[in-house]
Structure 1
Amino acid sequence: MSDQTSARLGLPMLQIGQAQKELSHNEALTLLDFAVQPVVEAVGVDAPPSSPVVGACWVVGSSPTGAWSGRAMAVAGWTSGGWRFLSAREGMAVWSRGDTAVARFDGVHWGVGEIRGAHLVLAGRAVVGAQQPAIAAPTGGATVDVEARAALATILAALRTHGLIAS
């Protein structure tokens, strides 16, 4: 953090003896308005729209042009005073109206609709975990029923391990 801006979002800080403190305060509120519960029109847009609505936001693409030049991957929001930008931070998430999905910044790019985790828990019960080993296909033999039953038993065990069916 510098004496001028906040560490994470780069919000302007009020200074001792600063004239017109309301300007810094209002700028910080405008940026917070874009940062808290953010909703963007689209992700990865390189050119600013020609007629944006006040309060509308976009995630800038990797090769921005025009008023967005030099602001790759940032969240761009239109205000009555022009464009305001929030630098993307690792873990930052926005709701993308265009994709009807969450987009999350991983430190390098915005991933849209990706869900990552170690396991999925529904109603307090783990239902999907780590991938299990491959199941060999039946290969025939003298007693096909025995091989089919063994394959089915392995499939059922995998489904139970994932919590997709009860034990």
Structure 2
Amino acid sequence: MSEPTPFPSVTPNFGLPLLIAGQSQKEFFVNQALSVLDALSSQAVVASKPTPPEDAAEGESFRVTSPAAQAWTGCEDHIAIRIGGSWHFVPPSDGMRLFDRTATVSLFFRSGWKAESSPVAPTGGAIVDAEARAALVQLIQMLGNIGLLGPSTQ
């Protein structure tokens, strides 16, 4: 597998290659930047994995989990994007959000990826309001269905 091309000048957030005056092969740099933007703009990954899948399609992206191995060694928490038959890694920044399509959960990055689990529906207590509890359970289920909450801990 070939190593990704290091770029002499990149953007601060996603490390997209910048063009310089008189640069040859501009199409390579522009295509690289467009490929990264295409993958990141969906704000979704196929899955979260510690190792690269053998059958990854061009443009697919994955969240690298710990302990990263094989071609992803040392890239924990990064977004791995398949570009031109190689892996391109984008480090996350605080505030980045992703949707993991396999786990069907939204993730948020703040010093590490976080996925909130669903709150526990109320049980017990001296005064029981069945309608309020039913509304809370329905709200928790709806937020989970759209990926804002992780799996229920009940």
Same fold (TM over 0.5): yes
Quote how far apart the aligned CAs of 1:113 are.
4.2
Are 1:42 and 1:98, in contact at CA under 8 Å, matched by a contact in 2?
yes
Query: Is 1:16 the counterpart of 2:21 in the alignment?
Result: yes
Q: Looking at both structures, which has the greater relative contact order when contacts are Cα pairs under 8 Å and sequence separation is at least 6?
A: 2
Q: Distance in 2 between matches of 1:90 and 1:49?
A: 27
Are 2:58 and 2:85, in contact at CA under 8 Å, matched by a contact in 1?
no
Q: Distance in 1 between matches of 2:102 and 2:115?
A: 10
Secondary structure of the residue that 1:35 maps to in structure 2?
Answer: helix
Secondary structure of the residue that 1:103 maps to in structure 2?
Answer: strand
Unmatched tracts of structure 2, length 5 or more: 1-7, 119-124, 137-154
Q: What is the TM-score of this pair, normalised by structure 1?
A: 0.63
Which residue matches 2:87?
83
Which of 9, 12, 15 is matched with 1:7 structurally? 12
Which of 64, 73, 80 is matched with 2:68 structurally? 64
Q: Distance in 2 between matches of 1:14 and 1:79?
A: 19
Q: After the TM superposition, which segments of 4 or more aligned residues of structure 1 sit over 4 Å from their partners?
A: none
Count of aligned positions: 119
Percentage of matched positions with identical amino acids = 31
Alignment of 1:1-167 (within 5 A): 4-43=9-48, 45-107=49-111, 109-113=112-116, 152=127
Unmatched tracts of structure 1, length 5 or more: 116-136, 138-150
Quote how far apart the aligned CAs of 1:33 are.
0.9
Quote how far apart the aligned CAs of 1:77 are.
1.3
Q: Distance in 1 between matches of 2:82 and 2:116?
A: 25
Quote how far apart the aligned CAs of 1:112 are.
2.3
- Paired letter, 1:55: G
Quote how far apart the aligned CAs of 1:36 are.
0.7
